[in-house]
Amino acid sequence: MEKFSLTDIKKMNYSDVYHFIYANDKCSKQSIANALQMSLPTVTQHLNMLLEEGFIETCGQLQSQIGRKAVAYTITPAARVSIGVEILKNKLTIAILDLYGHIRFQKVCRIPFQDSADYFKEVSTEIRQFILEHEIEGKNVLGIAFALQGLVSQDSRNIIYGKILDCTGLSIASFEKYLDYPCRFVHDAECAAMTELWDHPELSHAVYFSLGYHLGGAIIINGEIQSGRTGRSGTIEHMTLVPGGLPCYCGQMGCMECYCSANALLAGTGDSGNEDLDAFFEA
């Protein structure tokens, strides 16, 4: 049997109380004690610590049939935030998300991607200003994830394949140099699949398809995104659909990308591209 020290148990209880409130918005001290089988003084102690550290707050009182009304506790969603940055060829989007994963602030910058120091510096300045603008303290920023069209190494630090942006070999150090927060890359399709998982935690096995101007995908097994040993699993867009077919940006012929991406669907449809895409989905 594993041995736990008193400090470990305290930490676990503290975390359990927080997670219970996180999952059950507006709860009373008594309901926490009942659900977690803790004594009221123990729950009180943890609630006080969580209040002191700004992780939770009180939010009125709960209706009760008997006795006096109980104080309701809820988490403070913006006690910590994370930053998401989507890098595209012609623009980037910066979003600030709270602990429920809700976007609190978002902005689009028309900065075209370049694999150059000037670009990394400019983007980092935009991010820092955005954080400042919303009066978020640096210590409350958990980290920054950069999503882009490219495959990412297992440690999230390098782009191992980035043909669309022409950024193969790009290191996260290029951004970290200018930002005082933990940074990582995420493959954009995986990022979108992660959002689906966050919203639907009951998903166990699934194939995620992202139909954008480029096609993307991800494979979910046992509720987790599978990147495979080489970080290439789920790249559905490069499965051969037509042997010897149209040339793909990846260098192969007849990939799904060449036939099913929005770029391919819109190719040669004249100047009313959006109408044609709508017609496609209607059909």
Please answer whether residues 14 and 50 qualify as being in contact, where contact means their C-beta atoms are separated by less than 8 angstroms.
yes
Least distance from Zn ion to the Cβ atom of residue 246, Å? 10
> What is the rounded CA–CA span in Å between residue 27 and residue 20?
9
Length of the chain as a residue count: 283
Q: How many CA atoms lie within 13 A of 243 on its CB side?
A: 0
Q: Does 234 bind Zn ion (CB under 5 A)?
A: no
Least distance from Zn ion to the Cβ atom of residue 209, Å? 15
Q: Which is nearer to Zn ion, 141 or 264 (CB)?
A: 264
Question: Which two tokens mark 6?
Answer: 């008193």
Long-range contacts of 48-52 (CB under 8 A, 24+ apart): 49/14, 50/14, 50/17, 50/18, 50/21
Stretch of 117-125, 151-159, 163-171, 231-239 lying at the interface with Zn ion (CB under 5 A): 231-239
Q: How many CA atoms lie within 13 A of 95 on its CB side?
A: 14
Applying CB under 5 A, among 43, 175, 210, 238 the residue interacting with Zn ion is: 238
Applying CB under 5 A, among 75, 141, 172, 255 the residue interacting with Zn ion is: 255
Applying CB under 5 A, among 186, 220, 248, 265 the residue interacting with Zn ion is: 248
Q: Does 131 bind Zn ion (CB under 5 A)?
A: no
Least distance from Zn ion to the Cβ atom of residue 153, Å? 20
Least distance from Zn ion to the Cβ atom of residue 165, Å? 15
Least distance from Zn ion to the Cβ atom of residue 250, Å? 3
Residue 213: count of CB within 10 angstroms of its CB: 14
Q: Which is nearer to Zn ion, 108 or 207 (CB)?
A: 207
DSSP lists the bridge partners of residue 98 as: none
> What is the rounded CA–CA span in Å between residue 135 and residue 164?
35
Residue found under tokens 């991800």: 218
Q: Which is nearer to Zn ion, 206 or 246 (CB)?
A: 246
Q: Does 250 bind Zn ion (CB under 5 A)?
A: yes
Give the interface with Zn ion as residue ranges (CB under 5 A). 238, 248, 250, 252, 255
